[in-house]
A and B are shown apart, each in its own frame.
Chain A
């Protein structure tokens, strides 16, 4: 449609050079709802045209040719764009010289251009800033106690009250790594918002999309039934609730057990992996040592075990009854179903 072709292209400028592992870039290649092909080819109705400048699968060979898109944005020549930041932002002010994390070179000095400087230069010009993965959102693993780089998340750097020129706060999609479809879906939402067809993206106080992070792991976990019945695993590999083995699911905001990891397959506690709280601002320090029972769980499981134990034996009794067929299903000359035959 000619009218649609006149719409401006939305550029996605992706900086993967925070302190990261690139796991969030890799995650996007796993997304299927929608896939990156769907986003790029505009498969979903009403999606604006999009140009993705993303190091991981960029066609070009890199270097200045690739960096030119970022320089253009810096000069104000690229509009509109969404700035995607992957990786935590190290504190470049705590040392005399050099860099902890850089993205391309500063064209004036020839020295590596710190990632932090890129974020500060581009954020004011962006339609929205999207922090992907727990490193970029809250600091994550690289911001653990004892770290040498003073790493932090994008909201720590720009300010938690920061808003883009379109009035959008830093959009945070945590997860270590990010859940593939959570990321693809948030990008899609922002593109619809950019096209004027979606209202302001709803975020919680920690700037996470509400519809993705509004419930706890436990609320979506298919092992919660074991918890309810006070039936806990004491060894990894058991199908029961693993809260006593270090799972933080009851208090962590995340939809992974509900959604599975990819194509509905995998996840965390639903498949035997303790929830280590990787979507939370307190990650990782507040959850370590990961393999110990969370302090709160020892009390709550004691309470649950009493009630849950009783419940379990009552249910076992009912199950036993339900495992038996009604008595009229049998051979013989008499019909005992209750029907009165006319023959």
Chain B
């Protein structure tokens, strides 16, 4: 089954991981590795599941859209639900009461706090834990054990080795604490949106949540526990990640790709957002996470209209039939701008199941790209946080006290909590878009989300104290209409495009972050972000091919926070499947 003729010295060895574990969804990563040069020569990513949302949503009542699309994702379904409500609100021309928007923002902030926490500490951190580092880089482990942690007084771990031990699966105390944190942050989420992960209380027009003083008190008390937690988590991860740069010179090359970041903005400001497309440029810039596209470190746009019109869906090497020449649903946007045939509003999804062929078609993921007028750019989402903080920092539009954008950094001010005084963090724009910086940004964004939530609580309580309790606005579904919603799913850009005809859904195309990141080579041959960040990356693992685990590759892929049930096979060249099971199982009872 292995294709490559691998020779032992310097030849290419095929290495595949399908499915990849410790992610949400089904992903396979197929690589060819040059062990002589200690480099990945080639990488393909593939997804193993097709469900067909855009197909079965046709003809349904548009008011069902957020209930249905929430089910796209089992860890950030609420982001879909929210995005769908945004799109519906545009289509129905309804603006929810302010209080409802603050409640949605609080729910979404809790989702970021929960999701980044569990992914960072229980899924990503395992790649950096003592057990893993001992197995892949014993030399690095020895160094870690003897390296003092610069921020030891802030997080309590004396050495880098202590940090690594604390994130060992199950046995590590920080690993176990993070699981608990993931639970009370989900309680915060459920206070606002009812259920995790498919909300029960979100509707177009507002929320069904009963807004009382108790609701916000219950949230705030948990939020302050989280504030106390991130005051430790951020410096601890800084220490851990900085150590990798220091212990393994050149580690910045791992998962590195050209700086091509997209962010569709998050957290609406109800004082400005009216969900009218014609005003979208203005209210988009009032979001508490600034939408934007960053190319080679430069902020290309912060205009949601421009972002919207630039989206193109290419089929590339995926299992679909092209829709060229088929009916266009939207030729002009409400501002009169032309809309491309390859824009999600005009997409037709025509699945063509077939054999997987890495020379031909090899995945169920299409290739979304952003057209800047010249090129179809393969933007990535930086796993979410990196691409959110970057344009927010550059644009200088956010200033609410708890968070402030400086034009080159983002300042996060956290108030006094149970045992710690006020703390200020500053996320500075990094030199690279790579695995370590994606992971580091994830810790900072947890603090950012908590700080924003403090602002939203102030705003929501002010509404309640002023006697406002209305959380939902009536609307009528028009016979014919269009809408679009933009937000940030936890792991990056999220858009929903909706076309209503005769009061039913005529077309609906959601674009979550993972198609952007996990896309295959597109029609122009441009590889997707997983592919090009792994392709060409150096290998630092000390194990020879027979014992190779691929941890550097997995750190790259996982830094994007993959969210498709994906996996990776692992087999070596010469047709020899790696049979030896040498990995200890974290969830095997340690007493066995």
Interface residues of A (CB under 8 A from B): 5, 9, 16-17, 19-27, 29-30, 32, 35-37, 40-42, 49-68, 87, 90, 95-105, 107-112, 140-142, 144-149, 151, 176-177, 235-239, 242, 245, 256, 260-263, 265-268, 271-274, 276, 278, 284, 288-291
Contact = CB atoms under 8 A, between A and B. Distances in A.
Contacts of A65: 570, 578, 581-583
B3 to A, nearest CB: 8
Contacts of A245: 208
A102 B63 contact: no
B74 A20 contact: yes
B592 A22 contact: no
Interface in B315-338: 319
Contact of B19 (A23, A62, A107, A151): A62
B26 A102 contact: yes
Contact of A176 (B59, B60, B75, B198): B198
A286 to B, nearest CB: 13
B352 to A, nearest CB: 8
28 contacts: A17-B567, A19-B49, A20-B565, A30-B182, A32-B183, A49-B592, A55-B567, A61-B17, A61-B550, A62-B554, A63-B567, A63-B571, A65-B583, A66-B21, A96-B353, A98-B319, A103-B26, A104-B19, A105-B18, A142-B51, A142-B71, A151-B51, A235-B474, A237-B211, A245-B208, A262-B183, A284-B64, A288-B61
A62 B184 contact: no
B299 interface: no
A182 to B, nearest CB: 13
Contacts of A267: 190, 194-195, 200
B354 A98 contact: yes
Interface in B463-481: 469-472, 474
Contacts of B63: 289-291
Given A55-B19, A147-B52, A236-B471, A29 B64 contact: no
Contacts of A54: 587
Contact of A58 (B21, B72, B77, B591): B21
A51 to B, nearest CB: 4
A36 B316 CA distance: 41
Interface in B185-228: 186-187, 189-191, 193-201, 203, 205-211, 218
A59 B586 contact: yes
Nearest to B123: A57
B140 interface: no
Contacts of B198: 23, 176-177, 278
A41 to B, nearest CB: 7
Interface residues of A: mostly helix, strand, loop or mixed?
loop
B589 interface: yes
Max count, chain A CB within 10 A of own CB: residue among B71, B169, B207, B571: B71
A60 to B, nearest CB: 4
A261 B194 contact: yes
B209 A61 contact: no
Nearest to B49: A101
A59 B68 contact: no
A100 B550 CA distance: 28
